Structures are given as structure tokens and as C-alpha cells.
Amino acid sequence: MPEVATRVAPERGIAALRQLLGDRLSTAMAVRDAHGHGESYHPTQAPDAVAFATTIAEVAEIVRICAAHRLPIVPFGTGTGLEGGTVALHGGVSLDVSGLNRIVAVRPEDMNMTVEAGVTRKTLNTHLRDTGLFFPIDPGADASLGGMAATRASGTNAVRYGTMRENVLGLTVVLADGRVVKTGGQARKSAAGYDLTRLFVGSEGTLGIICEVTLKLYGVPEAMSAAVCSFPTIADAANAVIVTIQSGVPVARIELIDEVQMGAINRHAKLDYKVAPTLFYEFHGTTAGVVEQAEGAQAIASDFGGTDFRWAVKPEDRAKLWQARHDAFYAALALRPGVKGWATDVCVPISRLADCIVETKRDLEASSVLAPIVGHVGDGNFHLTFLVDRDDPAEMAEAHRINDRMVLRALAMGGTCTGEHGIGYGKVDFLQAEHGAGVSVMRDLKRALDPANIMNPGKVLRI
Amino acid sequence: MPEVATRVAPERGIAALRQLLGDRLSTAMAVRDAHGHGESYHPTQAPDAVAFATTIAEVAEIVRICAAHRLPIVPFGTGTGLEGGTVALHGGVSLDVSGLNRIVAVRPEDMNMTVEAGVTRKTLNTHLRDTGLFFPIDPGADASLGGMAATRASGTNAVRYGTMRENVLGLTVVLADGRVVKTGGQARKSAAGYDLTRLFVGSEGTLGIICEVTLKLYGVPEAMSAAVCSFPTIADAANAVIVTIQSGVPVARIELIDEVQMGAINRHAKLDYKVAPTLFYEFHGTTAGVVEQAEGAQAIASDFGGTDFRWAVKPEDRAKLWQARHDAFYAALALRPGVKGWATDVCVPISRLADCIVETKRDLEASSVLAPIVGHVGDGNFHLTFLVDRDDPAEMAEAHRINDRMVLRALAMGGTCTGEHGIGYGKVDFLQAEHGAGVSVMRDLKRALDPANIMNPGKVLRI
């Protein structure tokens, strides 16, 4: 398998795509540039063209044309990825699926729904507004469901509701040879054959193009309450999380925000929380159950010096709180206007969370780079957002050094090099460090489904 | 890829295995026969030899020898499978992993543990007894964790805790070429590369031999209570389940037992429940939460004519109740001594559960074959146990007819041909009916990882 798909005749491939798509095939520089990056630090590398598909049949036809001309295909949802998944490393075609934006079916009686890949999570939940149901997975950005499935996204609710891994029931995928395959189904469980759904979830466009997603839905809880609590040190906050999880309190959300990020959030969202290591909680359940959970969490927080337990019970207060949390990345960027954020994440077994965060924080305190910490800490997952000038080699080298140390620290603790951002092309070496022989198996699977290496080449695996 | 692995020189392969294993390689007819069947109706087909491995390195060496001699390998845990997964369709070597029986690590602080594949679920939970933790997945039999992972098993608790799909964090697998691969890890979530764990879970030994399993554990709930309730008709019972699930009552277990099976259970377990369509419930949570759940479920049951709500709160009463449920298969067999049971299962979206059960029951009532119904109905999953004389072609044909109708009915309702038993070799055609083009993808994956088709050939896929 070639490291780079040989673009046999890109111009002819693009001409064939233009014939298929008309003005939904663009080679305008602005459009190509807009599709050649994500939201993180990775420099833009523009595709040769951008194809705007509107149907699954069209996606299949685009893939067939690209396959015939050996044109790399880079799927594109909202461009909000954080590990460079949409960067066109080897040129080719950015396949924009935002036009695949239909709500295919909502089945409240079975608590599931099917959407096309371009539907975003906010659109989806707005659509559900009057059904009493919701979809819990919430990466910070208003990402597309196709992109969320492709990167195995999660977010603040994953500690209670799981990630895309647990919440995708089935997919429609277009493979490198143009085959259209439906995986999974509507049954809540199945022992029928290989779990293709889970194979494509997290494959970052390297095995196929996700076109349709069937998702589990959940009843909006009878009661919800949120709370904010600050701690003397980040170790205290992390230890409160560990004990809360080990105690089995079924928190719906438990988010850590360090003092740097907390200051940024206050400024960005015009809030007045104490500038200290802070936990944001949310509790879901029956009215009595939520009180019980909150009392349990608060008692544990107190044991670790947690003070200023502030409640947000009214829906608008909770919404404001969580919007502030979701905007953490943008709030961090505002700390140093003009720079790009480099968002990285790791995930460790819960018992090592405090160690991993404290050691990482120590690295940061001894460093010149600025990087707020936030985390979906109930899962053992946390993030750094390096605020770096990507044109300054010394700054970038320092960020790399700290990132390397954090990832290798997480791996040494039995963790993973990314809890939810994916590998993209930024963490290919770390995937090797984490999975060793497993990567050779991944490569076998990639070769089986994409022998010409046209599907998002250079991402996840180095061939 | 050959349909049957060509046994180039079985005798020489077996001689090489004997050299490796000494008297842990058996060609005794009794041993071979004991390894040539599961617990269901499939006729015994003995392997040429049985290899008793005790270490992962030994499994890898056995696989290398079998690969060199093109000997099929059929993994064997406890032999309690229900779709003929352990039947040696093409001879070869039954690889018995019951000697891989070490508890590798228990990590209460991270709520996970690692066991070798031959450890059984009861051994595992006995080992956990004093930790305050438990592992919830419970197929009726005392199956091995390796077999449970291989068949993507579930059981009564899956409605609350998920199946093996959700509860395996990582695996150690030996591939067809002898590679030893660790998948997954201890982090609760990861976006690092393809989900190899989920690919091997449910692959029924056709992609590799599962040697080690890392499992999620759960805290033993503060409170548990169980209840039994009988209903006027099976439709009433099924509709009570549908509404309970749709209402979001977080039942830990909700099991349907039809009147035929209920009579069998009463006789087998010396119980005196009413012989009627019945639901067994279990509620887990805080003391107050359990009461709240039980009141919710009871109110719904009453709406559907449920009467005789009988409680089992004391641990020994609950244990007796659930042992009776777990022994349903054996209780059914006792209805017609001497025959084999043919256990089959389907799973449908919850809204279609009553329709699917009622139509299936109608088929049974119009038929000469006897087949009690039980089900993990909270998932939409239910079972028939045909009590058939497998030497009577007319009886077998009738069971096949009813099974075919039930499976196709489930598929037409958006369900799956098996919720938890697996494909084995009994449901290969139904897998095709369910997944169509998806099966061609499964075949591509099988070819990539097992080009000579030596890993449990003839199971899951027809090549």
C-alpha cells in the first residue's frame, strides 16, 4: 500500500466530479483553504477541490470517481476537529457532508433516531425539543454527528451516558470501492457477526465515509441540578472526583477547570466564579434521587476542602453554566489573542487522575508556555489547551515537550494517548507507543478495506 | 480463501502439538466427543485432537503449529454455547482454554479486573465477594469469560449494565499467525485508533483466540429488591415491559417467562409461583431509589392486569429466584426428558416486543412442537427453547419452520437474528439476511486476519 495515494490524474478526476456535481464542486482557493484545517494548531493544507455531497448515492459516486483517479478523499463535517483530521495532507478531495442534513427518522417509542452525517448535535437536540428525549453526547463544538462518530467523540455527559462508542446503534457507510453498507440496527443489542459499527466509529474517515448515523436517545430526566465548587488545590479537586466516582455517585457531569481556565471563562462568559481549581457538577434523576446524589457529592467535596458550593437549578442558569464550560476552548484562546490553540487530551484510569494532572500542572508551572487545563474528569479524561504562536519554533518545541511528557505519563499509568480528540495526524506515533502490535492489526484492516490508501491517507496510521 | 482449511498433514500437526503439550494433547475419543458440541441441538462433530493450553505463550505456539499444518482451530471454554460454536465442523484441534484460569489483577480503585479466558463468571464473582464490587454479565450457564467475550454474551442484567460489548475494556488475543495482541486498555474511554476490542468481542473465535479479558466492575448497590408478578396474557406482560422501559425506570432486570416455562421452573426449582405469563424484576440503587423504581414498575404492571406482586428482598430469596431463572434452560429440558433443547433467540426494538412475542406464541400454539419462551425483555430480547427429538426429521423441520418465521419476523421489525447467542453455524444464513453487504465487509476482515481460514472455520461466515 502506498504511503501516498498516487494522484494518477487529479485534473481528470476533478473534471469528472464537476460533471457529477456542477457548482457543488469547488476549486476556489478560499473554499479549499476553509476545508484544509480543523480548529487546532495544525497548519492548513488545502485539498485540490471540495465536493459538496447532498445524498448518500452521490457520496458513493464521488468515492468511485476518486478511486478511479486515485484521488485521496478527506471527509469534512463542520471542521471542528482538534487533531488535524480534515487537513488534506496529500491533497485530493475534501468531501463536505454538511449537505447530508436530513433528520431521517425519530422513533420515540424505541428511543432512537437516524440522522444524516451532516446534522449537528445542536440541530438534533433542537429537533427533539418537544419529544421528552435528548441525545447526550456533547463535544464543545456544534459538531456534525458524522464527525462525532468518526472521531468517537464524547464530552461532558460521557461519565453517565457513555461516548459515541456506546451510543451509535448503526451506520450507513460508503467504502473505498463505493459499496454502501448499513451496519448495526435498531435492536439494543445483537450478537450477529462482527461489530462493524464499532469498527467505523473512531476510524476517522480512514476506512469509509459515514453518511448516516442511528443514535440512542434518552428521556429528559425528571430532575436536574448543577453545582459549582472551588477547591484549595487542583489535587484536592481531582481527589474529590476520584472518590465521587469510586463511591458510585451516578453524576451526569463532573468537570474540572483549573484556575487559569476559570479566569478565562469568567472573562469570556461574564461570570464571577472564584478563580481557583473548580468542579462543575450536574445531577440527573428523580427529584429525590438528584438531592441524594448532590448531597453525596457535596459531602465528598467538603472532605477535600471544597467551598462555595453554588447551585444552578433553573434551566436558564444551568444552560448558562454549561455554555460557559463548552466555550472553554474559545475562552482560552481569548487569553492570548491572535494565537492558535493546540488542544490535546489524555485519559487515565480514575485512580491515577490526580497524579497525572498534578504532574502535568507541575510541568506547566515550570514552563514558559501557557496552557489551561479542563477535563471530563469523571472518565479520567483531561485536556490542555496550549496557547502558542505556531510560527515560533521555540514555543512549539516547548509545547511538544510538555505534550510528549503528558502523553507518555498517561500511557505509563495505563491510560490512552487520547480520550476523545482522536489520532488525526498529530498522535500517530503515540498510537504506536500505546498499541504496539495492535497497530499492525489496524494496518491489516486498513489494507483490507482501502488497499489503494485513498481514504483520509496519513491519518491514524502511518503506512 | 478455501471454504475448508486443507488439513495438509493432520497427523504431523498433532504430533508436533503432542511434543509441545505432552499429555495435555488428547486424541481420546471421549475427550474429543466432549469437545465437539455445545449445549444445544447441534450434533457432535469431534475434533481430531484436543489441546489443553495453560499459558498465552502456549496458545500462540499451538496456533503457529496449527497454521503450519493448516489444522482448523476451534476455541473451547466451557462448552455451554448455544449455536454450535464449538462443533468441529472441519475437524482440527479444539483449543481448550479452561487451563488459562488465573485472576491476573483486580483493581478496585479503578473498578476493573483482568482474568484469563478460562475463568468462569461464578469463579470471578466469588473472587470479588469481599471487594464490594461485582461483574454483572450473566448468561444462564457458568460460562468462561473468554467464551462470553467471543459470543458477545449478555443475560438478565444487560438492560441496566450492558452486554460484553459495553463491559470489556481490553483483550489479549492470539491471531492466526501467532501474533499476540493486546487491545484496549484500562482507561474508561479512548479515541485512539480502531476499536479492536469490539472487533474481537462477538467474533466467535473466527478472528483470533481470546486469552485474557479486562472487565469493567460495578459497586454492589446499596439496596436491591426483586419481585415477581403474573399477568393475564403474554401480551399484557410484554406491554408492561414496553411501558416500563419507555418510562425510563432503570430496572436492573426485567425478565419474561411464559406459562409453559413458569410451570417448568416451578417443578425444577420447587417453587410455587402462579403458572401464568410472569415478569421477574430486580431493582438496584439507593434505599430510597429502589423503592421509587419498584413503585413505578408496580403501577405500570397494575395497568396491564399484573397481580400477585411478590417480593424477594432477603439475599437468599433473591438468589433462589434468580437461580431458578438461570436454570430455565435446564428446567425446560426436564419437561421432556431425553431430548435436546434447541435454544434460539432474537432481539427487536422495544416497541415491537409484544407483537413479536405474541405472533411467535401464536405459531407455537398452532404447532405440535413444545417451546417455552423466556426473555431478557427489557432489551427486546427473547428466547425459544424447542424441546425436540433431533432424530425425528418431521419434528426438526417444524422447529426450523417456526424458528425461520420468528427470525424473519424479528428482522422485518428492525431487529436482529440473535440478541446474545451468536451466529455459530446455525444462523449463518440469517446473518446474510440481516446484514447483506455488511457480510461482504465481514468477509474482507476475516480474509485480512485469517487468510488460510483456520480459525473456527464455518462459523459466523460462509466463505
User: Grid coordinates standing for B331?
Assistant: 428446567
Phi, psi (rounded to 5 degrees) for B283: -120, 135
The answer, as to whether pTM is greater than 0.90, is yes
Contacts of A210 (CB under 8 A, 6+ apart): A75, A117, A146, A149, A150, A171, A172, A173, A200
Residues of B with CB below 8 A from A187's CB? 347-349, 379-381, 414-416, 419
Average of per-residue pLDDT across A291-319: 91
Q: What is the largest CA-CA distance in chain B?
A: 68
CA distance B461 to chain A (A): 8
Phi, psi (rounded to 5 degrees) for A93: -115, 125
CB-closest option in B183, B193, B285 to A431 = B193
pLDDT reported for residue B327: 87
Q: Give chain A's count of helices (H) and strands (E).
A: 17, 18
Rounded CA separation B75/B94 (Å): 6
CA distance A107 to chain B (A): 9
Q: Which residue of A has its CA nearest to B462?
A: A193
H helices of A348-449, in order, are 353-365, 393-412, 428-435, 437-449
Q: Please answer yes or no on whether B192 and A427 come within 8 Å at the CB atom.
A: yes
CA distance B328 to chain A (A): 21
CA A432 to chain CA centroid, Å, is 20
Residues of B with CB below 8 A from A427's CB? 192
| Helix (H/G/I), strand (E/B), else coil: A192 | coil
Rounded CA separation B7/B335 (Å): 42
H helices of A185-314, in order, are 196-200, 234-246, 259-269, 287-303
Residues of A with CB below 8 A from B187's CB? 347-349, 379-381, 414-416, 419
Q: Please answer yes or no on whether B349 and A460 come within 8 Å at the CB atom.
A: no
Radius of gyration in angstroms for the set of CA atoms belonging to chain B, rounded to a whole number: 22
Rounded CA separation B291/B297 (Å): 10
Q: Encode chain B in three state secondary structure.
A: CCCCCCCCCHHHHHHHHHHHHHHHEECCHHHHHHCCCCCCCCCCCCCCEEEECCCHHHHHHHHHHHHHCCCCEEEECCCCCCCCCCCCCCCCEEEECCCCCCEEEEEHHHCEEEEECCCEHHHHHHHCCCCCEECCCCCCCCCEHHHHHHCCCCCCCHHHHCCHHHHEEEEEEECCCCCEEEEECCCCCCCCCCCHHHHHCCCCCCCCEEEEEEEECEECCCEEEEEEEECCCHHHHHHHHHHHHHCCCCCCEEEEECHHHHHHHHHHHCCCCCCCCEEEEEEEECHHHHHHHHHHHHHHHHHCCCEEEEEECCHHHHHHHHHHHHCHHHHHHCCCCCCEEEEEEEECCHHHHHHHHHHHHHHHHCCCCCCCEEEEHHHCEEEEEEEECCCCHHHHHHHHHHHHHHHHHHHHCCCECCCCCCCCCCCHHHHHHHHCHHHHHHHHHHHHHCCCCCECCCCCCCC
What is the residue-level pLDDT of chain B in tens, covering all 463 positions? Answer: 444 545 556 899 999 999 999 999 999 999 999 999 999 889 999 999 999 999 999 999 999 999 999 999 999 999 999 999 999 999 999 999 999 999 999 999 999 999 999 999 999 999 999 999 999 999 989 999 999 999 999 999 999 999 999 999 999 999 999 999 999 999 999 999 999 999 999 999 999 999 999 999 999 999 999 999 999 999 999 999 999 999 999 999 999 999 999 999 999 989 889 999 999 999 999 999 999 999 999 999 999 999 878 888 888 888 888 988 888 999 999 999 988 899 999 999 999 999 999 999 999 999 999 999 999 999 999 999 999 998 999 999 999 999 999 999 999 999 999 999 999 999 999 999 999 999 999 999 999 999 999 999 999 999 8
CA distance A121 to chain B (A): 19
Q: Please answer yes or no on whether A439 and B193 come within 8 Å at the CB atom.
A: yes
| pLDDT grade for A6, boundaries at 50, 70 and 90 | low
Q: Please answer yes or no on whether B191 and A151 come within 8 Å at the CB atom.
A: yes
Burial B370-408 (b: 16+ CB within 10 A, else e): bbbbbbbbbbbbbbbbbbbbbeeeebbebbeebbeebbe
Q: Please answer yes or no on whether B188 and A439 come within 8 Å at the CB atom.
A: no
CB-closest option in B186, B288, B445 to A448 = B445
Q: CB A131: neighbour CB atoms within 10 A?
A: 14
pLDDT reported for residue A5: 47
Q: Which residue of A has its CA nearest to B203?
A: A194
CB-closest option in A107, A187, A422 to B191 = A422
Domains present along chain B, CATH in parentheses: 103-219 (3.30.465.10), 223-329 (3.30.70.2190), 334-419 (3.30.70.2740)
User: Grid coordinates standing for A13?
Assistant: 478526476
Q: Which residue of B has its CA nearest to A442?
A: B194
pLDDT reported for residue B2: 46
Q: Are strands B223-230 and B133-134 parallel, antiparallel or unpaired?
A: unpaired
Contacts of A277 (CB under 8 A, 6+ apart): A230, A231, A232, A233, A234, A236, A237, A256, A257, A258, A259, A262
A-interface mutation test, from B441, B460, B461, most A Cβ less than 10 A away: B441
Q: CB A267: neighbour CB atoms within 10 A?
A: 12
A-interface mutation test, from B188, B204, B211, B418, most A Cβ less than 10 A away: B188
pLDDT reported for residue A312: 84
Rounded CA separation B154/B121 (Å): 12
pLDDT reported for residue A235: 96
pLDDT reported for residue A340: 84
CA-CA-CA-CA torsion sign (B155, B157, B158, B161): negative
A-interface mutation test, from B189, B346, B461, most A Cβ less than 10 A away: B189
Radius of gyration in angstroms for the set of CA atoms belonging to chain A, rounded to a whole number: 22
pLDDT reported for residue B8: 56
pLDDT reported for residue A217: 97
Burial class (CB in 10 A: 0-12, 13-18, 19+), B421: buried
pLDDT digits (tens, 9 = 90+) for A107-157: 999 999 999 999 999 999 999 999 999 999 999 899 999 999 999 999 999
Angle, to 10 degrees, between the axis of helix B437-449 and the axis of helix A437-449?
Answer: 140
B-interface mutation test, from A190, A377, A417, most B Cβ less than 10 A away: A190
Q: Please answer yes or no on whether B196 and A111 come within 8 Å at the CB atom.
A: no
pLDDT reported for residue A1: 42
CA distance B165 to chain A (A): 9
Q: Please answer yes or no on whether A438 and B193 come within 8 Å at the CB atom.
A: yes
B144: left (phi over 0), alpha (psi -120 to 50) or beta: beta
pLDDT digits (tens, 9 = 90+) for A423-441: 999 999 999 999 999 999 9
For residues A283 and A297, the answer to whether their CB atoms sit within 8 Å is yes
Q: Please answer yes or no on whether A430 and B153 come within 8 Å at the CB atom.
A: no
Q: CB B234: neighbour CB atoms within 10 A?
A: 21
Q: Is the pLDDT of residue A308 over 90?
A: no
Residues of B with CB below 8 A from A107's CB? 349, 351
CB-closest option in B191, B440, B445 to A420 = B191
pLDDT reported for residue A360: 98
Residue A218 parent element (H or E): strand A218-219
Residues of A with CB below 8 A from B175's CB? 441
Residues of B with CB below 8 A from A166's CB? 162, 166
pLDDT digits (tens, 9 = 90+) for A235-263: 999 999 999 999 999 999 999 999 999 99
CB-closest option in B185, B189, B203 to A154 = B189
Q: CB A385: neighbour CB atoms within 10 A?
A: 27
